[in-house]
Amino acid sequence: MPDIAVVILNWNGEALLERYLPSVIENSEGARIYVADNASTDGSVNFLKKNYPEVSLIQNSTNCGFAGGYNEALKHIDAEIFCLLNSDVEVTANWLAPIQKVFQNDPEVAIIQPKILDLLRPEYFEYAGAAGGFLDQLGYPFCRGRIFQALEKDQGQYNDTKEIFWATGACMFIRKIVFDSLGGFDEDYFAHQEEVDLCWRAHNKGYKVLYVGASEVLHLGGSTLSNMNPKKTYLNFRNSLFSITKNLPRKKATAIIIARLLLDGIAAIRFVFQGKGKHCFAVLRAHFSYYRQFRKMYKKREKTEFVQKYYRTKSIVWSHYVYKVRSFNNLVKD
């Protein structure tokens, strides 16, 4: 079986490490466990040194976000497979074996995501990843098991192994050789949707991304930025535009970017009517940041065609808000 390094990125998460690290240690027999600390100012480092000396500690000199934090930490780890695991994830017994088996049997598989359930309501899928991520034809991300804020109940409908478009950074397994060949995460993202970009670039290189439902973890979610935080709105809107610019052919990217800017404007107006003025301002800030960095992103753009087979629907926004679709299996496949 391929060897796995479980790497938990931490920033001021002493309470989360105290609560969730024991499940990782208990259920990850044979794997090496690392905590990559992003220059925490709480007691995280001392807590680890005192209570878990068997866990390898990597100390980054600055808080360089999710993307930069993992890029720096993984330079110091040698393993066939990296498991990037959020500090607010509780793992279950036998969570690693199904993943190792798939990697061993299919060398074309580069990235794998397990089933992600809600820690507080384990009968439901969790927002960040659910049962694997897809994109619609305008580049909006969504998941099996979660469309916007609508979460499906886990009734075994996604107990499969399936090719997906993107795997969540909350719990992502990736071959070291692939991570290195892609240059890791794009640090200009800082946080949010950098995993979508990484998986997109992997597809453009011919690799496969899978969801493996036989492996299961539970995610608390919102421990760094909640869905109500305007900074998360800012990063999600901006970084989605980054990914489209980088990973689509020029003509297709141009058409989609124009459509997205218009739709983002509608979303900003909707925030105003919802009394969420800070979120409206966050969308505007996202656009100005995108304009400032457009040339930089354009230079990173891949030249290959977008992987059309991963479209699930033309517009997830239209399907959800107009047709009231709440579950992945009820989407009309275009």
Q: Kindly compute the dihedral angle of the four CA atoms of residues 235, 169, 9, 281, in this order, to the nearest 10 degrees.
A: 10
Nearest alpha-carbon partner for 260 in 287, 295, 278: 287
By mean pLDDT, which of 3-17, 119-133, 241-255, 298-312 is the weakest? 298-312
- The Cα 165–Cα 182 span in angstroms is 16
- Distance (Å) of CA 328 to CA 205, 259, 309: 27, 23, 16
* Amino acid code (one letter) for 32: R
Q: What is the pLDDT of residue 73?
A: 97
Mean pLDDT for the chain overall: 93
pLDDT in tens, 2-57: 899 999 999 999 999 999 999 999 999 999 999 999 999 999 999 999 999 999 99
By mean pLDDT, which of 34-48, 92-106, 169-183, 289-303 is the weakest? 289-303
Q: Work out the burial of residue 192: count CB atoms within 10 Å of its CB; fewer than 13 is exposed, 13-18 middle, 19 or more buried.
A: buried
pLDDT band for position 227 (cuts 50, 70, 90): low
> Would you say residue 295 has pLDDT above 80?
yes
> Would you say residue 275 has pLDDT above 60?
yes
pLDDT in tens, 119-167: 999 999 999 999 999 999 899 999 999 998 899 999 999 999 999 999 9
- Tell me, which fold does domain 4-219 have in CATH? Spore Coat Polysaccharide Biosynthesis Protein SpsA; Chain A (3.90.550)
CB 82 within 8 A of CB 33: no
Q: Where are the domains of the chain?
A: 4-219, 230-318
- The Cα 211–Cα 115 span in angstroms is 7
By mean pLDDT, which of 195-209, 264-278, 316-330 is the weakest? 316-330
CB 218 within 8 A of CB 117: yes
CB 227 within 8 A of CB 273: no
Q: pLDDT > 90: what percent of the chain? A: 84
In the chain, the largest separation of any two C-alpha atoms, in whole Å, equals 56
CB environment 75-98: b (16+ within 10 A), e (fewer): eeeebebbbbbbbbbbbeeebbeb
Q: Output the CA angle 12-16-21, nearest 5 degrees.
A: 120
In the chain, alpha helices (H): 14-27, 44-51, 65-74, 97-105, 176-181, 194-204, 230-247, 250-273, 277-299, 316-321
Nearest alpha-carbon partner for 112 in 123, 125, 103: 103
- Would you tell me how many other CB atoms lie within 10 Å of the CB of residue 206? 10
